[in-house]
Structure formats: structure tokens, C-alpha cells
Amino acid sequence: MKLQSYTPNMGTIVCRSCDAVLQTFPAEKVTTLYSFCDSHCKSRNSSAVSIKR
């Protein structure tokens, strides 16, 4: 039996404005990307969307 490598969802996309977790994705270490959620925050900050690494 072979062990498959498992990548946990340690990546998180967080709304810069309201701190809501928008999405998680597989990452080997804790990674946080910042964006704005699709509802009110994105339209309110439409000119300021950026992703920080």
C-alpha cells in the first residue's frame, strides 16, 4: 500500500475589508492572500484590489 501525499488546505484568501474567508486552497505551508469579497466589499474597493504574498 502506498501513501499518497496529502496537501492540506493551508492557503486562505481573506477579504481585506471584512476579514471574511473567501476561499481556501491546497498549500504546503500557511499562505494568506488578500482580496475583497464579491458582495459589497469588492464594489466598494474596486480600485484597490491587490494580492499580497
Give the interface with Zn ion as residue ranges (CB under 5 A): 15, 17-18, 20, 37, 41
Would you mind telling me the total number of residues written for the chain in this entry? 53
**How far, CA to CA in Å, does 36 sit from each of 5, 9, 10, 17, 46?**
32, 20, 19, 7, 9
Radius of gyration of the chain (CA): 14
**Residue 26 or 48 having the CB closest to Zn ion:** 48
Q: How far is the CB of 36 from Zn ion (least distance, A)?
A: 6
**Residue 9 or 40 having the CB closest to Zn ion:** 40
**Residue 18 or 21 having the CB closest to Zn ion:** 18
